Structure 1
């Protein structure tokens, strides 16, 4: 223990005697660790943002959308879901507590519709849906009300808007009673929904909701419309069975052969979150692997400087051996010096990386999260290995010096 303590003290004294050189030596380690920690901070914030987004969708919800393969798209064939599919699911599938269609305005390729209010003009997503959509999407009115069944049955020209639409169109704080023009048609605003903020840098409050039948009457050509179907299952444990029943019904309705793939997709928030998590993990591991190359470069820099240090301290090594220092004493002293340099660089890199990652997450409106323990453990573990591996050669060279030759060294 005495030898270990003395070796650490000698290593710290050597580092303190050449502070600036020690900093430059550890710079590669600092940059590598800071990059890893900053990356992990941003990814953790992104993951938290996505998790919060999907939690707001409800774990019992299922979304059914049309799906067309690339080959069929190139040949001009496009799959569609229509009101008959909605009615079929509503009548034939039990265990569903709520179901609603969502019809997207197809004014242009980006699914954005032209809006006009007073002298302001803009674009937004315009959706046609029913009163059930409020329960499925967990929307809460700030002013006014949501769409009602009566609005839908009478094809009333009313709408509810998100906070982003209110702001960019210059509407008053309470826009209820105002009129807005959508693709040349005027509708009355009856509700303003509570804001949900951004997700992936995209606003979740940039939308206008119309009654479903009103939307159909406005866009016309109902047979060509493609709807989405949202539903909530009563029992989460029965979700798998309900998915299978819906799949069989839609395949039969669309007259698909056994060898043909589904022309629709059934997804739940949990599935989307799981797929996203797998994607994020793969990106994290790949990026960390790439960034770790800088740690290897930093290790090579430490080895070079330690070799220079051995040459500078050759006479010192000779004196130590002459007064009784063993080979393993010299080996331990230089190995600990390389290891301490790496660990100090790792500590500085963690602090610097956390600051950079926090600032980046804040700039992208991701929720702030601390550095996970596995990231800190990975950083310190990797730099420790680098310190031992790249410090071994200089330490072995110092330990193998002949004391007589070392004392004669100029």
Structure 2
């Protein structure tokens, strides 16, 4: 143990003696580790934000939505959850809580709404009064849409804070009118502000009664619904999910469909699906920028080879005084590993700072998060790179003949 500490101390002394060269040597490692940490921290922050967003939807919610395969998309076909599917669920799911349908009135990408001389592009959603409970969104001013609004197809709506600002409406917009398409709707509520996710505002929308939305579309048979089902007893989640699956498959097979063009998910599963995509993308990016670690490793090998050449006489003296081949090998390996580990630590600090700066500069980007395992893995991997690429110079130093080394000029 004492010999190992002595070797590490000697390696540290050598690094300090050539501080500038050592800094330039580890620059590749620093850049590589910093890039990996910055990328992972940003994407981990996104994953944590998704977890928080979907945690608010509740553990007793099921979401039914259509799913179009890639082949069908290429052929211009699109799956839909229809009004008939919704009615089948309402009739075939006794004992559950609310069954809340919703759809985009002006298409998936939204449409233009007007207020006075101002106009803007936004999402227009039609849903039931249960939407506020299933999605955990509540009015800050005024009220939410009611069953009476839906039954009489009233031209009323609630809006988000971002839309209120874009339409230049008063701080309290209740009672104001906005035009959606060719219809004027009275604002009856302003929703609580929820901020942005990945640069997309959660407060830029109009929400109207479900029946009103159906009256505004050209062909109600072409709407694609998303249905939220609240299950009274969480222990029955799997049973209700299987029942929904069976009802929709039966309905769609009768209509000539394959029956698998929809998905039934819990809020947790929805979040996991998005997180898995984010983790995959983050690993791809980390792998790409991680190539710079290999470049840094090659730089360490080159500098260590130069160091062996410069210290040939020193190695010869050490061997003449009794230093073993193993001791020489460990000294140069420890120097390479220590250099890489120092670069790894500096890279972690710079990488986290870069991720934090990105989250502050880019609007809507969640705060950067660096898991402890990423830090440990980065430092260990960088040290391993030093050992791997330091093996050849260390072996060259250990294999020098003492007599030839002492004669080296």
Does TM, normalized by the shorter one, top 0.5?
Answer: yes
Unmatched segments (≥5 aa) in structure 1: none
Is the Cα–Cα contact under 8 Å of residues 197 and 366 in structure 2 kept in the other structure? no
Shift of 1:6: 2.9
SS in 1 for 2:258: coil
> 1:14, 1:41 → 2: CA distance?
34
1:356-367 matches, within 5 Å, as 356-364=354-362, 365-367=364-366
> 2:86, 2:154 → 1: CA distance?
22
Residue equivalent to 2:294: 296
> 1:285, 1:174 → 2: CA distance?
46
Q: Is structure 2 residue 97 aligned with structure 1 residue 97?
A: yes
1:354-393 matches, within 5 Å, as 354-364=352-362, 365-393=364-392
TM-score (structure 1 length as normaliser): 0.92
Shift of 1:290: 3.3
Q: Is structure 2 residue 280 aligned with structure 1 residue 318?
A: no
Q: Is structure 2 residue 63 aligned with structure 1 residue 63?
A: yes
Shift of 1:25: 0.8
SS in 1 for 2:227: strand
Alignment RMSD: 2.3
> 1:74, 1:289 → 2: CA distance?
30
Q: Is structure 2 residue 41 aligned with structure 1 residue 26?
A: no
- Residues 1:87 and 1:388: Cα distance change in structure 2 (over 3 Å): same
Residue equivalent to 2:212: 214
TM-score (structure 2 length as normaliser): 0.92
Aligned length: 408
Shift of 1:213: 1.7
Shift of 1:31: 1.1
Superposed CA offset, 1:277-329 (max 9, x none): 33333333333333333222211211111111111111122222223333223
> 2:51, 2:188 → 1: CA distance?
31
Residue equivalent to 2:49: 49
Between 1:155-164 and 1:221-230, the stretch displaced more is 221-230
- Residues 1:56 and 1:345: Cα distance change in structure 2 (over 3 Å): same
> 1:69, 1:383 → 2: CA distance?
42
- Residues 1:57 and 1:363: Cα distance change in structure 2 (over 3 Å): farther
> 1:259, 1:150 → 2: CA distance?
36
Superposed CA offset, 1:336-382 (max 9, x none): 21111111111111111111111123334344354212111211221
Q: Is structure 2 residue 191 aligned with structure 1 residue 181?
A: no
Is the Cα–Cα contact under 8 Å of residues 27 and 296 in structure 2 kept in the other structure? yes
Among 157, 160, 167, the alignment partner of 2:155 is 157
Is the Cα–Cα contact under 8 Å of residues 38 and 352 in structure 2 kept in the other structure? yes
Between 1:181-190 and 1:237-246, the stretch displaced more is 237-246
Unmatched segments (≥5 aa) in structure 2: none
> 1:73, 1:395 → 2: CA distance?
58
- Residues 1:163 and 1:257: Cα distance change in structure 2 (over 3 Å): closer
- Residues 1:261 and 1:213: Cα distance change in structure 2 (over 3 Å): closer
Between 1:75-84 and 1:286-295, the stretch displaced more is 75-84
Residue equivalent to 1:335: 333
